[in-house]
Amino acid sequence: MTESNSLPSALTIAAEVDAALAEAGLAGPQVEREAIPLYLSFVHELIDCPQASVALSALNKSNAAELVAQWVTQKQQPVNQVVDILTEHLTEVIELSRVHGTLQDFKRRELLSFHRNIVEYLQRSSTSLSNAHNKSS
């Protein structure tokens, strides 16, 4: 009996890798590799609910903080918990962008600044709501 010990060709392996990436949703031009758009997609996933009805295309750097604050208010989410989630997303985006080779220093600083602006906006909004609630009591 002769048993074939032939190894798969490089083309076969590449096809299998491509198929696995596609199955995992990690293949093709639709996969975001740039830091800020990737972070925005995570933010969109966080606030994506029927009440928010925010299209990903409508979410951008100029309105993200306000939309997240509105979602926090509507869902009555604790600001600290949301900040922790956003920080986890930030860390993941930095790692993914670094792995993809798309994270230059200036982009990292821009991403950190963007994240900091959202966090500060949420904290200001939370403080404003707390002050308004205390005055009405």
**pLDDT by residue for the chain (137 residues), tens digit each?**
455 567 778 778 877 877 777 776 666 655 567 889 889 989 988 887 555 566 666 788 999 999 999 999 988 999 999 999 999 999 999 988 887 777 889 999 999 999 999 999 999 988 776 654 455 55
Residue linked to tokens 């590799």: 33
- The pLDDT score that the predictor gives to residue 126 is 83
pTM, to two decimals: 0.69
